[in-house]
Structure 1
Amino acid sequence: MRDFVILGSSIVNPPPNPSSQPRHTIKPHNSSLSKLPSLSPRKNSTTLLQTPLILKQFETVLHDAVDSDLNAELLANAVLMGIKGRNFRIVIDSLNKLQGIGNGISLSTQFDESAMSVIAKECSFMVTSGHIQESVELMEVLSRYQLSIGELVQPSDIIKRCVLNRKPNLAVRYASLLPQAHILFCSIISGFGKSRDLVSALKAYDAMKKNLKRPNMYIYRAIIDVCGLCGDFMKSRYIYEDLLNQKITPNIYVFNSLMNANAHDISYTLNLYQNMQKVGLKPDMTSYNILLKACCVAGRVDLAQDMYKELKHLESIGQLKLDVFTYSTIIKVFADAKLWQMALKIKHDMLLAGVSLNTVAWSSLINACAHAGLVEQAIQLFEEMLLSGCEPNTQCFNIILHACVEGCQYDRAFRFFYSWKGNKTLVSFGESHNSNAEEGGMDSVTTTVPKGISSSHIMSFTERFPFKPTTSTYNTLLKACGTNYYHAKALINEMKTVGLSPNQISWSILINICGGSENVEGAIEILRTMIDAGVKPDVVAYTTAIKVCVESKNFTKALTLYEEMKSYETQPNLVTYNTLLRARSKYGSLREVQQCLAIYQDMRKAGYKPNDYYLEELIEEWCEGVIQDNEEYEVEFSSSKKPEIERPESLLLEKIAAHLLKRVADILAIDVQGLSKVEARLVILAVLRMIKENYAFGHSVNDDILIIIGATKADESPAKEILEVQEAVIKLLRNELGLEALPAKTRFAPSDSPKLQNTKENALPTTMVFHTRRPAVLQRLKVTKQSLHRWLQRRVSVK
């Protein structure tokens, strides 16, 4: 057995015995080489001197180089021994020292086939062991000595390692050494693109541009494709603009890649289509397919129809031939728009043109009918797909199940699922089975078999196409469980058995099923189980659980979940806010109003537009509770009597929230500026309702309350709107509530801050003017604390 000696970080194989191994063509013939010690290993000895031996060889070579007498055989021998001993760094450094002196030497003439095989083996070892940096450096230095490095290692192996280690510049350095560099450049960019590493792909692209003597459309197309694959369409546009700035005209393939990367922006895609024609390029079938894809993404059915007509015309005059991708895309456009009849017409055109439908086309047709609620039509298309020999994928099966569930044919969905899963078919897809109709509250469904479809044919076709359920499959079936929690739980367990993990949608559906049976505790428990399973509840899961609590009249638990989701940094959506705000039909306490107002303010801050009218009605009902015992006074300004369309948009709820979210001791002024008389009434009643409830808990009012009606300029009469609001407020306070309301004025300069002080003075003297500009005058009313105490005591006694 051969001995292996570890020298530093290298594993060294002792050289073979010359008598037992084939010799290479290097023969020592000079005095320098003849002075080298023997390389044959002795029995029971080690090769500790191998590294010093190689160093000695390279010292001799370097000495000869200084004397301008570099010997090719000696250099080849040293290189071979260094590579065989895996002293790669010594070889690299030594050959680099000879740069400029030995560049004319060709090592390829010094190595026979056996030596090249040894070098290739050791270079492959370098690559597979992860020494990619040294591998490329060795290739570079060997190429300078005219050694054919393309035969040493598979270029794809080095490129894969560079991609894996995110070394774009190193990959470009290696590719530049080979004659097929332009092809390898595309492979490098594509490799980083498949890894979704756009940054490295762009670095490689920039490095490649320095090695290009003329524009390379393959590379431009590859980097644009990677931009589209990584979802950075703006980078693709920058590359396109850079080409235009360099006066480089892209070819049709670059334009197609650019349109495909920007297919989500139909206006930009159409602009590229026009630019393509301006530079004299004729769009091909790929160009039109990408345009149809852009129409599909944008939902532009009208544009897709016009383009389809144009394509049919071009096909009629023989300029192009529509392919399966064209038909499939236009079918998907109509299917997504739920225009199933037009989608079926395209299918007819497709068959007349002799183009067979592919899986995408069949799936889109089935999906179009399923979305339209045409369960029988969808199943018939599925059977036609099987008869045509087209292999359905799992998505096709899922679409059929979804169609059954949307059509409330739950029993049928389960029968299809278990027959497909077991590679067994029923007598016919259309046959009615009632045996499972009573399970889980599912209704039986009677259907008919489409004419001309043989049950035996369907069975034979279906058995050829295995069905592998996905998480989406089970999520669809969970919806078919209705309110049967135990059936749904069994499906969750079955998912785990087949190796699938329930996702957020699965848990949300299960929570909703608990809500259907008013099982609040079960819904909360599922939410906790979801977290324990390592699945972070999303906004849908939390909103579903909140909805269950709201429908069960457990608003406290709903608020707890709302605060919990915010603590987990899960942002509520519009459905979440509306579910909470609509949870109450009336308010019973100040705390409930404060809770809803806080949710309302969160909703506004999040950028959602709440239904102010609905919330105002509830608050109005709560506010009017302070005068519900004063039946002798007619409520004249009821905001609920005014239609929603006629109500002015105002800061009513913000005004109410600003007062009600404060402590009662902080309420020294009620600001109704800018509000209508109806809205001013609600704000004042809301504050009084808060004061009343807090008074019952021992909080008293220790000062007068000022009501700010509006501001006017000095020496000018108040505006008509201000007078109307003031009159309405006085009537409310005096006539309906029996409070003492007195007029009060104050004067301040425009530069002063209108901060209200807790003083007993009603107004500043009109002579106290200290500013050159005219001050403003606040129109105010004062509700005395004595009348407030009498009113509160009266209300308590009535209560």
Structure 2
Amino acid sequence: MRDFVILGSSIITPPPNSQPPSSSSSSSTPQHRHPIIKPHKPPPLSKLNPLSPRNNSSTLLQTPLKPKQFDTCDIDSEVNPELLANAVLVGIKGKNVRSVIESLNKVESIAKISLSTHLDAPVIANECRQLVTSGHIEEAVELMEVLSRFQLSIAELVQPSDILKRCVLKRKPILAVRYASLLPQALILFCQIISEFGKSRDLVSALKAYDVMKKNLKRPNMYIYRAIIDACGLCGDFMKSRYIYEDLLNQKTTPNVYVFNSLMNVNAHDFSYSLNLYQNMQKLGVKPDVTSYNILLKVCCVAGRVDLAQDMYKELKHLESVGQLKLDVFTYSTILKVFADRKLWQMALKIKHDMLSAGVSLNTVAWSSLINAFAHAGHVEQAIQLFEEMLLSGCEPNTQCFNIILNACVEGCQYDRAFRFFHSWKGNKMLVSFDESNNNNSEQGGMHNVTTVPTGVSSSHILSFTERFPFAPTTSTYNILLKACGSNYYHAKALINEMRTVGLSPNQISWSILIDICGASENVDGVVEILKTMIDSGIKPDVIAYTTAIKVCVESRNFTQALILYEEMQSYGTLPNLVTYNTLLRARGKYGSLREVQQCLAIYQDMRRAGFKPNDYYLEELIEEWCEGVIQDSGEYECEYSYNKKPEIERPQSLLLEKIATHLLKRVADILAIDVQGLTKVEARLVILAVLRMIKENYAFGHSVNDDILIIIGATKADESPSKEILEVQEAIIKLLWNELGLEALPAKTSFAPNDRTKLQNPKLLNLSLKALPADNALASTSGVHTRRPAVLQRLKVTKKSLHRWLQRKVSVK
């Protein structure tokens, strides 16, 4: 029968090939046969485990462990470390790791012993590596934890990076901290744990690890604080980095310069906050280093504060002159970028001169920024000359440098030159394009001598640099070349195919440029097909792609397809931007039907709800033209309101379009009241005309009007006369309805003779004041007057009978 090793209450099965000891071994030296813990009184044989025969010398315990059986002063002398180590190895080899962990925990609660000289470290290390490889990280860490408490060094058992990597993948920050705490380089590993979680954009796990570390440390550790702040920056949560900084200050601890640098770098987008950090840094007595100033220059670059960057650069030059610090290449590169972004190429050249004077060689970033300064300013020739100088200096260029040159050619409309440069790049013959550029006339001869190629240098010498630095084009490279295709759709499509051939995937920018090129020939079907291909390739079109496609449809006068794309982009969860809305709202030169007006008003309302402030001028003109069509169709009356002649600054920026949209987006059967409260007389005219035109168009499709229409003009208190504004609006509406349209407009619930137009046209002769009855409470509440107090609504009623006569007359005229 297979033997068993009893360890406390756990049973560990040894491997099948283990041989039972011989009978002579039972009478061997005592230290080879006594158990780990000697009981004070040997138990009778009848109480021994039947599965542990007397001839098994590997038996660890003959009775369950009970702490009360041992004297505390003699515990260590009662334990046999060698037999315990042998049992641990047997259990590990038998893949009973969980039983070994539980049993060692029980032994640890009874006796404190050391197994460092008795365990076979390679066997333990092999098992731990297998556990880690198979994904059982918890068991591996628990085994190393319990073995460390038995004085076993676990530093060499496994590679820390293997465990930490798997903990990051499985999002187990607490387990990673537990393992790192077992190693002598725990502080370094703590920072690495936070950093790795930050790189994986898992800030929640990084913060959990940070909280555990903070509790276990006796005092704040600046390395850990810097690591968690950097993780906040990687995850884009700059506010959390500020809370961590405040927590550090609340502990009455002064951050060091590295913590301040990380905090300023994470908050570089916030100019005022970064500047306050710099000032607090000085107040706390922390001396800034070169990195601090480099980050501050970056802050100025992001904020576009060239003036402050210049002042800081002067201060840095002064500090360098007195020997307090030494400017490095990063300082110069950053200030170069500040000037390059603002197209200040003269200042950028001065920085280059300062660098060379200080003995600082320009690196790739510095050269790229300098070249970019000329490229942004439109000086293509000088940008290419700087690139040649970069090659001569021995600085290794990168793809970004080439892309800057290509983009400069495209921005300068030198499309052929861009393609020649690109093909020479791929063929390692860049000097062909360079020699051509040197033979061309300079755009600005005065600048040609700024960066002159040294004489006596052959083209083959420069070509040797290009042969040493081969580059593969990127997606950005092809996107620049797509712009150089102009309106040649087939050339652009060939470039897209070439991208795929070289292993690059077109991105959203690539497809958007292709859509724009296709739209230049008003090929709406081709644009829709490109969008479909883009979706099929797994790329979700962004707002730029959809807006470009909508623009093509609008320019091709296919407004129906533009609306389809507008609805499609919303169904995909892509939110329109201001350009999208303006493109749709300005698509029409005139409205032909109610449906078209309703579509544009729906887009207008979407734009307002999205938080964009629309320019109502263009849309109001179209709405006015459409509304006035009600009168112009009859040809009897001439409009006496010249809305378009009003200066734009005097045009009413009120709720005009909102009022029109409120009525026109309803069904004709729902139009029982037209609310013109708060509108001027011109705005009220347009709202009423818009509703009447809608009624007329719907009547032609068989929708009749079944009730009178109420026009709510305004509300006043019971004891007050109507205001001058209300009377003006009232008079304008009556003139419109009676004189221009031939409709009967009566005071609500007041009997007047239908043919008494003279009296109706004179507001002073009318008593249109009606106290709000209980049934009118809803209308009174819309006016903004409290319903508990008596209110007078100024209302007009357009009778159903006159509406039918007007509609029949309009239809017959049509």
Using structure 2 for the length normalisation, give the TM-score: 0.86
Q: Measure how far apart 1:736 and its partner are.
A: 2.0
Residue 500 (str. 1) matches residue 504 (str. 2): yes
Out of 742, 750, 770, the position equivalent to 1:747 is: 770
2:674 alignment counterpart: 670
**Residue identity in the other structure for 1:547:** K
Return closer, same or farther for 1:433/1:365 CA change in 2, 3 Å cut-off: closer
C-alpha offsets along residues 338-383 of structure 1, whole Å, 9 cap, x if unaligned?
3232222222222221111111111122222222222112212221
Return closer, same or farther for 1:778/1:386 CA change in 2, 3 Å cut-off: same
2:223 alignment counterpart: 218
Return closer, same or farther for 1:196/1:587 CA change in 2, 3 Å cut-off: same
Out of 110, 115, 124, the position equivalent to 1:107 is: 115
Return closer, same or farther for 1:428/1:506 CA change in 2, 3 Å cut-off: closer
Residue 31 (str. 1) matches residue 2 (str. 2): no
2:189 alignment counterpart: 184
1:452 alignment counterpart: 453
1:692 alignment counterpart: 696
Out of 144, 148, 159, the position equivalent to 1:143 is: 148
Return closer, same or farther for 1:59/1:618 CA change in 2, 3 Å cut-off: same
1:237 alignment counterpart: 242
Return closer, same or farther for 1:612/1:94 CA change in 2, 3 Å cut-off: same
C-alpha offsets along residues 26-81 of structure 1, whole Å, 9 cap, x if unaligned?
998333369xxxxxxxxxxxxxx99x999963435966985552112222222233
Return closer, same or farther for 1:750/1:337 CA change in 2, 3 Å cut-off: farther
SS across alignment from 1:777: strand
C-alpha offsets along residues 727-746 of structure 1, whole Å, 9 cap, x if unaligned?
22222222222323233346
Instruction: Report the Cα distance in structure 2 between the residues aligned to 1:149 and 1:631, rounded to whole angstroms.
Output: 99
Query: Are the aligned partners of 1:428 and 1:455 in contact in 2 as well (CA < 8 Å)?
Result: no
Query: Are the aligned partners of 2:710 and 2:796 in contact in 1 as well (CA < 8 Å)?
Result: yes
Residue 789 (str. 1) matches residue 804 (str. 2): yes
Instruction: Report the Cα distance in structure 2 between the residues aligned to 1:401 and 1:622, rounded to whole angstroms.
Output: 49
1:710 alignment counterpart: 714
The 5-angstrom pairing of residues 562-601 of structure 1 reads 562-601=566-605
2:407 alignment counterpart: 402
Gap regions ≥5 residues in structure 1 = 1-9, 19-25, 35-48, 435-443, 758-770
1:310 alignment counterpart: 315
Return closer, same or farther for 1:13/1:237 CA change in 2, 3 Å cut-off: farther
Return closer, same or farther for 1:165/1:692 CA change in 2, 3 Å cut-off: closer
Out of 80, 86, 107, the position equivalent to 1:77 is: 86
Query: Are the aligned partners of 1:423 and 1:467 in contact in 2 as well (CA < 8 Å)?
Result: no
Instruction: Report the Cα distance in structure 2 between the residues aligned to 1:681 and 1:445, rounded to whole angstroms.
Output: 64
2:326 alignment counterpart: 321
**Residue identity in the other structure for 1:235:** K
Query: Are the aligned partners of 1:425 and 1:459 in contact in 2 as well (CA < 8 Å)?
Result: yes
Q: Measure how far apart 1:389 and its partner are.
A: 1.3
Q: Measure how far apart 1:774 and its partner are.
A: 4.8
Q: Measure how far apart 1:397 and its partner are.
A: 1.1
C-alpha offsets along residues 724-771 of structure 1, whole Å, 9 cap, x if unaligned?
1112222222222232323334634598754469xxxxxxxxxxxxx9
Return closer, same or farther for 1:53/1:748 CA change in 2, 3 Å cut-off: farther
Query: Are the aligned partners of 2:15 and 2:90 in contact in 1 as well (CA < 8 Å)?
Result: no
Out of 251, 254, 265, the position equivalent to 2:259 is: 254
How many residues of Structure 1 are paired with residues of Structure 2 in the alignment? 744
Q: Measure how far apart 1:328 and its partner are.
A: 0.8
SS across alignment from 1:706: strand
Query: Are the aligned partners of 2:710 and 2:798 in contact in 1 as well (CA < 8 Å)?
Result: yes
Out of 656, 659, 662, the position equivalent to 1:655 is: 659
1:730 alignment counterpart: 734
Query: Are the aligned partners of 2:634 and 2:813 in contact in 1 as well (CA < 8 Å)?
Result: no
SS across alignment from 1:535: coil
Which stretch of the first structure deviates more once superposed, 425-434 or 689-698?
425-434
Instruction: Report the Cα distance in structure 2 between the residues aligned to 1:78 and 1:482, rounded to whole angstroms.
Output: 79
C-alpha offsets along residues 543-574 of structure 1, whole Å, 9 cap, x if unaligned?
11111111111111111111111122211111
Return closer, same or farther for 1:53/1:153 CA change in 2, 3 Å cut-off: farther
Query: Are the aligned partners of 2:591 and 2:597 in contact in 1 as well (CA < 8 Å)?
Result: yes
Q: Measure how far apart 1:608 and its partner are.
A: 0.9
1:536 alignment counterpart: 540
Q: Measure how far apart 1:252 and its partner are.
A: 1.4
The 5-angstrom pairing of residues 284-295 of structure 1 reads 284-295=289-300
Query: Are the aligned partners of 1:367 and 1:378 in contact in 2 as well (CA < 8 Å)?
Result: yes
1:336 alignment counterpart: 341
1:682 alignment counterpart: 686
Residue 152 (str. 1) matches residue 144 (str. 2): no
Q: Measure how far apart 1:479 and its partner are.
A: 1.1
Instruction: Report the Cα distance in structure 2 between the residues aligned to 1:327 and 1:27, rounded to whole angstroms.
Output: 79
Instruction: Report the Cα distance in structure 2 between the residues aligned to 1:266 and 1:334, rounded to whole angstroms.
Output: 18
Query: Are the aligned partners of 1:550 and 1:580 in contact in 2 as well (CA < 8 Å)?
Result: yes
Q: Measure how far apart 1:788 and its partner are.
A: 2.6
SS across alignment from 2:674: strand
Q: Measure how far apart 1:91 and its partner are.
A: 2.1
Instruction: Report the Cα distance in structure 1 between the residues aligned to 2:413 and 2:30, rounded to whole angstroms.
Output: 90
Return closer, same or farther for 1:531/1:433 CA change in 2, 3 Å cut-off: farther
C-alpha offsets along residues 490-528 of structure 1, whole Å, 9 cap, x if unaligned?
111111111111111111111111110111111111111
Which stretch of the first structure deviates more once superposed, 504-513 or 743-752?
743-752
SS across alignment from 1:639: coil
C-alpha offsets along residues 626-669 of structure 1, whole Å, 9 cap, x if unaligned?
22256564422221111111123211011111111122222222
Root-mean-square deviation (Å) = 3.2
Out of 80, 92, 105, the position equivalent to 1:96 is: 105
**Residue identity in the other structure for 1:92:** I
1:487 alignment counterpart: 491
Instruction: Report the Cα distance in structure 2 between the residues aligned to 1:513 and 1:249, rounded to whole angstroms.
Output: 58
Q: Measure how far apart 1:166 and its partner are.
A: 2.2
1:471 alignment counterpart: 475
Which stretch of the first structure deviates more once superposed, 70-79 or 481-490?
70-79
Residue 509 (str. 1) matches residue 510 (str. 2): no
SS across alignment from 2:313: helix
Query: Are the aligned partners of 1:659 and 1:670 in contact in 2 as well (CA < 8 Å)?
Result: yes
1:346 alignment counterpart: 351
SS across alignment from 1:607: coil
Query: Are the aligned partners of 1:749 and 1:774 in contact in 2 as well (CA < 8 Å)?
Result: no
Instruction: Report the Cα distance in structure 1 between the residues aligned to 2:101 and 2:61, rounded to whole angstroms.
Output: 14
Q: Measure how far apart 1:464 and its partner are.
A: 1.5
Query: Are the aligned partners of 1:412 and 1:445 in contact in 2 as well (CA < 8 Å)?
Result: no
1:203 alignment counterpart: 208
Query: Are the aligned partners of 1:674 and 1:710 in contact in 2 as well (CA < 8 Å)?
Result: yes
Query: Are the aligned partners of 1:186 and 1:218 in contact in 2 as well (CA < 8 Å)?
Result: yes
Residue 423 (str. 1) matches residue 428 (str. 2): yes
Instruction: Report the Cα distance in structure 2 between the residues aligned to 1:541 and 1:673, rounded to whole angstroms.
Output: 42
Residue 776 (str. 1) matches residue 786 (str. 2): no
**Runs of 4+ more than 6 Å apart:** 10-18, 52-56, 444-450
Paired-residue identity, %: 80
**Residue identity in the other structure for 1:209:** K
Out of 374, 379, 382, the position equivalent to 2:384 is: 379
Query: Are the aligned partners of 1:295 and 1:303 in contact in 2 as well (CA < 8 Å)?
Result: yes
Residue 608 (str. 1) matches residue 616 (str. 2): no
Gap regions ≥5 residues in structure 2 = 1-11, 21-27, 37-50, 749-767, 781-785
**Residue identity in the other structure for 2:453:** G
SS across alignment from 2:434: coil
Instruction: Report the Cα distance in structure 2 between the residues aligned to 1:661 and 1:64, rounded to whole angstroms.
Output: 86
Return closer, same or farther for 1:627/1:161 CA change in 2, 3 Å cut-off: closer
Return closer, same or farther for 1:149/1:772 CA change in 2, 3 Å cut-off: closer
**Residue identity in the other structure for 1:284:** D
**Residue identity in the other structure for 1:82:** G
SS across alignment from 1:747: strand
Instruction: Report the Cα distance in structure 1 between the residues aligned to 2:536 and 2:427, rounded to whole angstroms.
Output: 32
Using structure 1 for the length normalisation, give the TM-score: 0.87
Out of 278, 299, 306, the position equivalent to 1:273 is: 278
Return closer, same or farther for 1:54/1:64 CA change in 2, 3 Å cut-off: farther
